[in-house]
Amino acid sequence: MEPTKESYLKIISEADIVYLNNQEMASALMELVKNTSGIHASDNRMLVKQLLEREKQGSTIIAPKVALAHTKTEVVDNLILSFGFSKGGKLKWAFEGKEEVKIVILLLFPIKGDRCSDFEIIKDLMIKLANQEQMDQMIKLTNAQDIKKILIGK
C-alpha cells in the first residue's frame, strides 16, 4: 500500500516531544525511548543498547546541532519517528562527548514490515533534512512545536 501524506503526518504528529537537558548521549536516548509512543517499557534498555551500537559505527550527527539516532529493531512493529529537543543545546553527543546537539530525531525501523511504505516516508523526511535552509531555521527555533512544524511541513 502506498503511503499518503496523511500517513506520514500521522506518524510524526503522534510522536512525543521530549525535552532533554544537559545529558550524556545514553541518558538522552533512554529519556527519548521511554517517552516515545509504541515502545514497551521492557524493551527500553535493549533499544538504547542497539542505538548506542549504531552510534559506534559512525556518528549520527547529520547537521550542526542535529542528530538522527536510528536503528533496525525487532522491538517495534511499525516505523517510529520521534524527537527530543534541548532549549540549551547542551546534549553531549558522540562517545568522546566533544559534540553537542540541540535536536535528536529518533527513527526506528522494524525488521519486519512493509518496506515500500517506510521508504516513501523516510524519503520525505530526508528531503526535509537535506534542505540546509530548513535545518538552519530549525536549529534557531526555541519552541519544539515549531520544529515539529518543519518536520511535518505545516
Roughly how many angstroms between the first and final C-alpha of the chain, as a whole number? 24
pLDDT at 101: 84
On whether the CB atoms of residues 51 and 71 are closer than 8 A, the answer is yes
Residues of the chain with pLDDT under 70: 1-23, 87-89, 95-97, 113-117, 153-154
On whether the CB atoms of residues 113 and 69 are closer than 8 A, the answer is no
Rounded Cα–Cα distance for residues 122 and 114 (Å): 12
pLDDT at 6: 42
pLDDT at 154: 53
Q: Which stretches does DSSP call E strand in 6-129? A: 17-19, 61-63, 66-73, 80-85, 91-93, 99-101, 103-110
Q: Which stretches does DSSP call E strand in the chain? A: 17-19, 61-63, 66-73, 80-85, 91-93, 99-101, 103-110
- Judging by DSSP bridges, how do beta strands 61-63 and 103-110 pair with one another? unpaired
CA distances from 24 to 78, 93, 131 (A): 28, 7, 28
pLDDT at 8: 38
Confirm whether pTM is higher than 0.85. Answer: no
pLDDT at 4: 43
pLDDT at 146: 82
pLDDT at 19: 60
Residue type, 31: E
CATH entry, 5-152, from 3.30.1340.30, 3.90.1150.10, 3.40.930.10, 3.30.930.10: 3.40.930.10
